[in-house]
Amino acid sequence: MGRVVSGSLSHGLRVRLDAAASVEDMAVGRLVVVEGGEARFFGTIADVALEAAPGLEAAPVDLADPFVSQVLSGTTAYGTLQVVPSLRWGAEAQYAPGVVEGPQPAKTVPRHFSLVREASPQDVAMVFGQEDERHFSVGTPLDMEALVCLNMTELVLRSNGIFGKSGTGKTFLTRLLLAGILQKKAAASLIFDMHNEYGWQGYGEGGYRVKGLKQLFPSQVAVFTLDEESSRRRGVSTDFVVRIGYQDIEPQDMETLKEVFNLTERSLDAIGEMAEAWGDAHWFGHFLSHTDKEVQGELGERAQVPVGVLRALRLSLRQLARLPFLVEKPAGNSVNRILEYLDRGMSVVLEFGSHESNLPAYVLVANILTRRIHEHYVQRTEAASRPEDRPRPLVIVIEEAHKFLSPQVSENTIFGTIAREMRKYNVTLLVVDQRPSGIDEEVMSQVGTKVVCLLDNERDIESVLAGAPGRNELKLVLSRLDSRQQALIFGHALPMPVVIRTRDYGPDFYRAMGFAEAAELKRGAEQAAKELWGGESS
């Protein structure tokens, strides 16, 4: 492609293109290798530019003559690249792979006139690994037929995020990563499926159907629902119908709903006072079953809650009480049932059915269940005397993450706690959001691996790239992404940032996940059952 003519580690390398290399074939985000004198460097094209010798524009030369243009091209007029070197490996890594590890972070730059070439599939495999019991392919580099793999075991050790504006494929990417976690058995997942996209089946942008996680991994995924009727209409066979009791709603759950219901600080104080007077498990039902005057009288002089505050609070809580899955005394314990599946290593998809557009319902249920499940994992972790006794890693998937992790509420929600604790209790988050700027900066700094689709809001771009090495270069790369099936990935689970064309989610992917074998097993079982019953009837 060309040779290094100048540059620095902080600002990248300036590469002069070879006369035979067309500048129009270069693309921001493409992977390249720099052959240094003693080491090999692996990097990314961050910018493409046109250069010319001084005075060319004013020179009295007939530039319209094709012959003259051809003579000047590559000599007096030429193209340059800005290449950001991310990794380095020396000759010893090639000759002693069992002794010396592979690519390491680049802490220097190659010498002048080092050769720059396109990365080969072998180079990509050396950097990102190959598909095995831990590595899962998420796509290919731009303009290459090589696999970019993530270490799923490392991925689930920290909270991660998928960001992008509406219509860029966040749901497909989320489903892709969850399938990788399931295939590699890296963790169990609890998925709050706001739009019914992850369980049995989902839908593409054109309205076509795609297989959900339950179809691809029938023995590893259970589908729970808050709306049994909706699941039945969609032909989804569910494992359990979730019901939330009044006693499950605690004051900190209302803190999460502060922005949704525009609750004032005085309203939240009143909830705290009611919980102190009647108990965390009884305040909600007691408040709804008594008048404002009765509540005011019971709280007495110590509370001094104005009737106007109680009246406004009652209007908000009655909206919650009208939710059909919220009952005074549920027949079963939904949290315990979810924990039974998670403890067995199964993933749980909780569908919201017809409540998919009801943000208060989503925020309330996700907060209540996650808080109880996190308490269980903390107890199990602290009681474990040996590493093998610790609970299996759990990934909790939440959409509209800024509703749970905004600066105003993240300190008081279980999701903020989990994001800050990271892997301490084997519980992490996979946050999916189109407004990353709405998430608390401290929480964003704890996100281990970020998968970023196209963003067009400057604040959102600054938020996802905050603290990332080479932030300015990544910003340019991110701004050049296509709106579909492209993403920038960087962080803990891979050695360097990379732009990928995301893996297709279709028939080839289904087969790679073992769907053909699962379908064959199902047909075999059905045939055996027919033969059994046929034999008995005859």
CA distance 70 to 78: 11
| Best CA proximity match to 210, nearest among 179, 250, 241 | 179
Give the pLDDT of residue 525.
53
CA 478 → CA 14, 364, 384, 468, distances in Å? 20, 34, 43, 13
Q: Which of 509, 522, 514, 524 is nearest to 217 (CA)?
A: 514
Q: What per-residue confidence (pLDDT) applies to 99?
A: 42
**What average pLDDT does the segment 350-376 reach?**
90
Sequential DSSP letters for 217-236: -TTTEEEEES-HHHHHHTTP
DSSP state of 469: T
Mean pLDDT of 457-474: 89
E strands in 337-392 = 347-351
Identity at 454, one-letter amino acid code = L
- 470 pLDDT band, cuts 50/70/90, is confident
pLDDT tens digits for 268-282? Answer: 988 988 898 898 888
**What Rg, from alpha-carbon coordinates, does the chain have?**
28
pLDDT value of residue 10 = 87
Q: What does the mean pLDDT of the chain come to?
A: 86
The band of 294, judged by pLDDT with boundaries at 50, 70 and 90, is confident
User: Of 133, 204, 530, 192, whose CA–CA distance to 371 is shortest?
Assistant: 192
- 487 forms bridges with which residues in the sheet? 500
**DSSP character string of 35-81:** E-SSEEEEEEEEEEEEEE-TTTTTS---TTSHHHHHHHBTTTEEEEE
- Give the integer Cα–Cα distance in Å for 351 and 361: 12
What is the biggest distance separating any 2 CA atoms in the chain, rounded to whole angstroms?
100
Angle among Cα 418, 421, 426 to the nearest 5 degrees reads 75
Among 51-55, 238-242, 408-412, the range with the most confident prediction by mean pLDDT is 238-242
Q: At what angle do helices 307-321 and 359-383 cross, to 10 degrees?
A: 80
CB contact at 8 A, 343 and 334: no
Q: Which of the four pLDDT bands, split at 50, 70 and 90, describes residue 303?
A: low
Max mean pLDDT range (88-92, 467-471, 511-515): 511-515
Q: Which region among 171-175, 246-250, 293-297, 321-325 has the lowest average model confidence (pLDDT)?
A: 293-297
Q: Rounded CA gap, 462 and 464, in Å?
A: 6
The average pLDDT across 81-91 equals: 88
Residue bearing the bigger pLDDT, 33 or 389: 33
Of 53-57, 105-109, 119-123, give the lowest mean pLDDT range: 53-57
| Burial grade of 247 (CB within 10 A; 0-12, 13-18, 19 or more) | middle
> What pLDDT, on the 0 to 100 scale, is given for residue 420?
84
Query: Which is more confident, 526 or 231?
Result: 231
The count of other CB atoms within 10 Å of the CB of residue 115 is 15
Q: Are 391 and 360 in contact (CB under 8 A)?
A: no
User: To the nearest 5 percent, what fractions of the chain are helix, strand and coil?
Assistant: 40, 25, 35
Which long-range contacts link 520-527 to residues 24+ away (Cβ below 8 Å)? Answer: 522/218
The partner residues of 141 in beta bridges, in order of sequence, read 500
d(CA 10, CA 106): 11
| Residue of 426, 326, 352, 432 lying closest to 384 (CA atoms) | 426
Contacts 24+ apart (CB under 8 A), 470-473: 470/12, 470/46, 470/84, 470/86, 470/497, 473/12, 473/44, 473/46, 473/47, 473/82, 473/84
Closest residue by Cα to residue 213 from 224, 198, 203, 223: 198
**CA dihedral sign of residues 458, 461, 467, 468:** negative
Q: What is the pLDDT of residue 52?
A: 78
Per-residue confidence band for 386, with pLDDT thresholds at 50, 70 and 90 = confident
First to last CA, the chain: 76
The b/e string for 70-98 (b: 16+ C-beta within 10 A; e otherwise) is eebebeebbbbbbbbbbbbbeeebeeeee
Residue for token digits 């019971």?
298
Spatial CB neighbours of 534, under 8 Å, sequence gap ≥ 6: none
Q: How far apart are CA 277 and CA 291, in angstroms?
A: 16
Of 411, 382, 247, 415, the closest CA to residue 327 belongs to 247
Q: Which of 370, 390, 365, 392 is nearest to 380 (CA)?
A: 390
What pLDDT score was predicted for residue 535?
46
Burial of 492 (0-12, 13-18, 19+ CB in 10 A): middle
Q: What does the pLDDT average to over 322-327?
A: 92
Cβ distance 37 to 114 under 8 Å? yes
pLDDT of residue 37: 87
> How confident is the model over 93-102, as pLDDT tens digits?
444 444 446 7
Measured on CA atoms in the order 247, 253, 254, 257, is the torsion positive or negative? negative
| DSSP conformational letter for 487 | E
